[in-house]
Structure 1
Amino acid sequence: MALYKRAFGLGLGLKPRFTTKIASTRSSRHVSQAVDSTVKRAFLVDTLALVRNLESNGLPSKQAEAITFAITEVLNDSLENVAQSFVTKSDMLKSEMTQETNLSKFKSEVQSSQEHHFSLLQRETEKLRNDIDKMRSELRYEIDKVTAGQRLDLNLERGRIRDELANQNAETTNLTNKLDREIHALRAQLEAAKYDVIKYCIGTLVSISAVGLAVIRVIL
């Protein structure tokens, strides 16, 4: 009803498009054909039935035609606005084909990139493996070298300790022999001193005995 009022207001403000006045039925058909040939768009309403309905409600023929034309224009403009918000089926198919092409291209690029990265990863892995093997061999060589050096140092230290022990044993033996010789010499000296003391004691006793006998003889 509001649309009718708006269209009716537009119809009152429009100037008459037709100068000849004909009968209601023929005029309505002529208006429908004129609007169709002028606008050249598909109508969403039956313009003839709408004109007849307006004329049956007491509107003049020109106002009914103007209102019908205004309603048709509004509906067609609305249809165009709605159509501009959507795409056609061909455009949609073209967009889908473009998206499928882009998707296939993206898949191929991703696959080639994955293959490239996989090959790079394999090369890096092989390089790391070779580096690890090289480091292992170098580490094994260094360990063997250090072990051999330690063994050599240990053998040298053992030889040095053995030589020192032999020298100490020789020195100990020499000291022992020297002490034995000195002990034997001291024993010999003690024996000689003992003989001298015994000799002196015997001589002293003999002298004392002789003196005693002489004194006794004198006294007697």
Structure 2
Amino acid sequence: MFGRRCIRSFHTSPLNLSIKGPNFNTQRFVDDITRDGKFTEEQAKVAANIIANSINDGIELYASNLITREVLNKMSYKQKVDFAKLKGELQMIDKSDFNSIKNENERLRSELEKMRIKFKEEINKSLSSVRLDLSLEKGRIREESSIYDLKIKETDTRINQEIYNLKVQIDSVKTTVLQWLFGVCAGTFSLVLAYARLVS
């Protein structure tokens, strides 16, 4: 998808230059350290040779890491050219990457739009199905409610009829009981009168 990244490495090779350091006066050094008698002349010469060799080695090592101004300018110019070339290549790569990203973005946007339309259609279809189910359920509930209302009315009518019949029976029983009580009372009264006559 993205372009290949180009990486350049730059390096410099150390130049060995023949540079001489200041001369080390070994005889003066020997005279100085043998003057107080702590070193013999032979020991002083050995020490002077060691120090002189160390100084020369240090100077040569330092000189091996130095480069001339002309070489430095050439290297700087070469690096500038390489950097300019690398910058151009990176700009081309960035432009190619930008175009690739732009095309990929357009493709993803198109796919997202298709998915959005598809999801919207699926949602509308599901909503239509749910509305139909709700409508059917409402119709079924309404029908069942009508049946229940009819049954309740029939039950109320039957209960009212039973209550009426019960009232009629109660009234009939009341009448019978009253008649019986009246008969009993009349008979009792007749017996009392008859008993009273007999006694008198």
Instruction: Please classify the TM superposition score into its range, dividing by the shorter chain length.
Output: 0.5 to 0.7
How far residue 133 of structure 1 moved from its aligned partner, in angstroms, is 1.4
Measure, in 1, the Cα distance between the counterparts of 2:151 and 2:82: 97
The corresponding residue for 2:133 is 131
What is the letter of the counterpart of residue 104 of structure 1? E
For these two proteins, the number of residue pairs brought into alignment is 140
The corresponding residue for 2:180 is 178
How has the CA–CA distance of structure 1 residues 170 and 68 changed in structure 2, closer, same or farther, with 3 Å as cutoff?
same
The corresponding residue for 1:102 is 104
The corresponding residue for 1:121 is 123
Structure with greater helix share of residues: 1
How far residue 177 of structure 1 moved from its aligned partner, in angstroms, is 0.8
What is the letter of the counterpart of residue 195 of structure 1? R
How far residue 103 of structure 1 moved from its aligned partner, in angstroms, is 1.7
Measure, in 2, the Cα distance between the counterparts of 1:130 and 1:85: 66
The corresponding residue for 1:162 is 164
What is the letter of the counterpart of residue 130 of structure 2? L
How far residue 69 of structure 1 moved from its aligned partner, in angstroms, is 4.5
The corresponding residue for 1:205 is none
How has the CA–CA distance of structure 1 residues 94 and 183 changed in structure 2, closer, same or farther, with 3 Å as cutoff?
same
What is the letter of the counterpart of residue 103 of structure 2? T
How far residue 197 of structure 1 moved from its aligned partner, in angstroms, is 2.8
How far residue 81 of structure 1 moved from its aligned partner, in angstroms, is 5.4
The corresponding residue for 2:17 is 12
How far residue 175 of structure 1 moved from its aligned partner, in angstroms, is 0.7
Decide which of 74, 88, 106 is 1:72's aligned counterpart: 74
Measure, in 2, the Cα distance between the counterparts of 1:117 and 1:98: 28
User: CA-atom RMSD, angstroms?
Assistant: 3.0
**Percent of aligned positions that are identical:** 9
How far residue 95 of structure 1 moved from its aligned partner, in angstroms, is 2.5
Uncovered stretches (5+) of structure 2, i.e. residues with no partner: 1-11, 19-67
Higher relative contact order (Cα pairs below 8 Å, separated by 6+ residues): 2
Task: State the TM-score, normalized to the length of structure 2.
Answer: 0.58
Measure, in 2, the Cα distance between the counterparts of 1:115 and 1:99: 24
How has the CA–CA distance of structure 1 residues 92 and 171 changed in structure 2, closer, same or farther, with 3 Å as cutoff?
same
Task: State the TM-score, normalized to the length of structure 1.
Answer: 0.53
Measure, in 2, the Cα distance between the counterparts of 1:165 and 1:114: 74
Q: Which has the larger radius of gyration?
A: 1
Measure, in 2, the Cα distance between the counterparts of 1:98 and 1:115: 26
How has the CA–CA distance of structure 1 residues 173 and 10 changed in structure 2, closer, same or farther, with 3 Å as cutoff?
same
How far residue 89 of structure 1 moved from its aligned partner, in angstroms, is 4.1
The corresponding residue for 1:145 is 147
